[in-house]
Structure 1
Amino acid sequence: MAQQEQLGYLESTIRKIYPQDLSFRNEATGRLQQLTMPRWALGRLMDLAVDLAGMTRSMQPPVARKTIVVMAGDHGVTAEGVSAYPAEVTTQMVHNIMDRGAGINALAGQAGAGIVVVDMGAKDPFTSLRDSPGFIAKKIAPGTANISQGPAMSRTHAVMTVEAGIEIANQLAPEVDVFGTGEMGIGNTTSSSAIAAVLTGKAAAELTGSGTGISQEQLDHKIAVVQQALEVNKPDKRDGLDVLAKVGGYEIGGIAGLILGAAALQKPVVVDGFIATAGALIAYSLEPFVRDYIICAHQSVEPGHGFMQEKMQLEPLFDLQLRLGEGTGAAFAMNSLEAAVAILTEVKTFAEAGVSGKS
């Protein structure tokens, strides 16, 4: 009964997700074609302006209030030696972010974006952070099980973690125009590689990268671990919740829920790197229209990242060889959204400026 109620809540959110509004897209396109410049001279920024108008149903898309949501979770598969860093780094980096000492703090600050850290499934109880501004406790469980030996979590927990992400979107929505996805979880590139393999149909060896910077020998072992996880668990590619439960992570499910929640609220969500895109792909598998609200910040050096973006038919804004995660790429890309809106709203048309158009 509890699971039915949970699924009902998830389904009610999915039912609120519609494609971008075509009338606003057409109106934005019409205006941009008349601006005092050669046709579509600002390229992808103009494409982004059209998307933002369609997402927000506005010719003055609201993008000023930006928040990066950093989902944290631990992974049992770290016991297999798939990361260059020990599992306790998840906890240490959560504290570092809360102390404003991480890469995401620098880039979010530069972009004028706030940061919210959410404990979705870390081992540490974070007792000292419970009452801290910018920290939200949504722990489903203290880390996933080892996916090379069995499922990461139960299906009920998979539903709960997606719903927790939706709840975060709804909770923050009154103060947020644009969401950004971030994550912190040692071992999560291994889970993301497994998710990518299932949902893109590509081989684990094609998709799995060095993550935190492991050696070639360690990478070969990591690929074998991903392959073992797929063979042991046999996730169903037709069922995103099954994939999440079998080989995912709590922070990945939280990201999926945040994206679903943002789409239901008709708010743009800027998706960061490899792990965040795995969460986006889970959301996309549950409701394909969610792609209409996703802005892919960049393409990382992880080989599976581009394949996941291609699966959703989305193109990244940048390719800067990023591989940090935390939401850093999303924070950097948020500057582009304000630039796109400025083009749409501040540049005059030929008629408005009294400039002669193309003969």
Structure 2
Amino acid sequence: MTTTRSLVVPLPDTTATCQARRRLDELVKPVGSLGRLEELAAWLCGAHGTVPPRPLDDVRVAVFAGDHGVSAAPPGAPGVSAYPRELTAAMVRVFQAGTSGVTVLAREVGARVRVLDIAVDAELDDVARDVVARKVRRGSGAIDVEDALTPGEAEQAFSVGRAVADEEVDAGADLLIPGDMGIGNSTVAAALVGASLGLPAHRVVGTGTGVDETGHAHKVAVVERALHRVEGRVADPFDRLTALGSACAAATAGFLVQAAVRSTPVVLDGVFSLAAALVARDIAPDAARWWLAGHRSTEPAQSVALTALGLEPILDLGLRLGEGSGAVQAVPVLRAARAVLADMGSLADLT
């Protein structure tokens, strides 16, 4: 199976971007006075190939859910998360009920949320047929002692992510947001970012769900072991996903790449989507031109990934929930940026 076949990523329309910048300078305001809103408005014009850009009416969040072997811990021993791994399956049901953080926040901006079981370590037949249909495996390996995936599973999950992006774009999506759910996600993300950028564990490991000092030290040690275990064998992005990632990370990478193939802008969320973005960029470098950063989380791995991708977050609210919850908060800012070009008058109208 060749998952990267037909990965032809178009480039944003630079002519539309330049036209937008000229139009912004002609609006009834001092030049550059709307700051970042003007940058975002011009970026959207390049993505849509038109001035003003199209309305962002149909925003869709795809939450890729999965469990990680690295999250298992004996009773009483420190773990990489403040919560037990069984919470992942329970949270998938919360997403389906519409009462999770991202579903509540998404409703406020009119965004739709879809959750997909990529590698949850439970049977979820009672939740939704579509959730189960996308499962690649149950859980993943503990990355400090073994590979996360077996050969071929990263490519399989990548293809699933591409298919999900196609489905959302075909259904009319104007803007896509990758979400994530999985106990241990920030540990896997830290390992992927460390391996992608050649950084040691202490530079990329944060507190995740809120582990204490002992838990943080344990988490650093886990990521150190994982990075040492795969040293010298993760230059290839699919090898990296196999060794240190997860099926849901590979699916997220596929989702990001295919959104770019389909010329659809993406707003990235927290550390997990940024870790997947680093890998996706290695698979399809031009795909990064279609991504914005929704917010800055509290995780150090997300900050270094933002720098590596040359992305400036739209918001900085101190969020660390994940799920796509920070990215959906950036949607009103993008809509405001579009409105500037669509509705403001020009200086020429004053004469």
Deviation at 1:60, TM superposition (A): 3.4
Give the length in aligned residue pairs.
344
Say which SS state the counterpart of residue 11 (structure 1) adopts: coil
1:340 equivalent in alignment to 2:337: yes
Deviation at 1:237, TM superposition (A): 4.9
For residues 193-342 of structure 1, what are the structure 2 equivalents within 5 Å? 193-234=190-231, 236-342=233-339
Take 2:85 and 2:138, find their aligned partners in 1: how far apart are those partners? 12
Take 1:235 and 1:210, find their aligned partners in 2: how far apart are those partners? 27
Provide the aligned C-alpha RMSD in A: 1.4
Deviation at 1:236, TM superposition (A): 3.9
What do residues 79-117 of structure 1 show as CA deviations (whole Å, max 9, x unaligned)? 242111111100011111111111111110011100011
Pair 1:222–1:332, CA change in 2 (3 A): same
Contact 1:284 1:290 in 2 (8 A): yes
Say which SS state the counterpart of residue 224 (structure 2) adopts: helix
Say which SS state the counterpart of residue 183 (structure 1) adopts: strand
Unaligned runs of 5+ in 1: 1-5
Deviation at 1:235, TM superposition (A): 5.9
1:41 equivalent in alignment to 2:38: no
What do residues 225-261 of structure 1 show as CA deviations (whole Å, max 9, x unaligned)? 0010111123645311111111001211111111111
Take 1:286 and 1:56, find their aligned partners in 2: how far apart are those partners? 23
Take 1:235 and 1:34, find their aligned partners in 2: how far apart are those partners? 53
Say which SS state the counterpart of residue 150 (structure 1) adopts: coil
Match of 2:67 in 1: 74
Take 1:79 and 1:30, find their aligned partners in 2: how far apart are those partners? 55
Contact 1:299 1:305 in 2 (8 A): yes
Take 2:104 and 2:152, find their aligned partners in 1: how far apart are those partners? 37
Pair 1:136–1:57, CA change in 2 (3 A): farther
Take 2:150 and 2:309, find their aligned partners in 1: how far apart are those partners? 26
Q: 2:148 aligns with which of 147, 152, 171?
A: 152
Match of 1:64 in 2: 57
Q: 2:82 aligns with which of 76, 81, 84?
A: 84
Take 1:238 and 1:350, find their aligned partners in 2: how far apart are those partners? 53
Pair 1:136–1:261, CA change in 2 (3 A): farther
Unaligned runs of 5+ in 2: 74-78
1:355 equivalent in alignment to 2:347: no
Q: 2:17 aligns with which of 25, 42, 53?
A: 25
1:181 equivalent in alignment to 2:178: yes
Take 1:22 and 1:104, find their aligned partners in 2: how far apart are those partners? 33
The amino acid that maps onto 2:66 is G
Say which SS state the counterpart of residue 114 (structure 2) adopts: strand
More off after superposition, 182-191 vs 227-236: 227-236
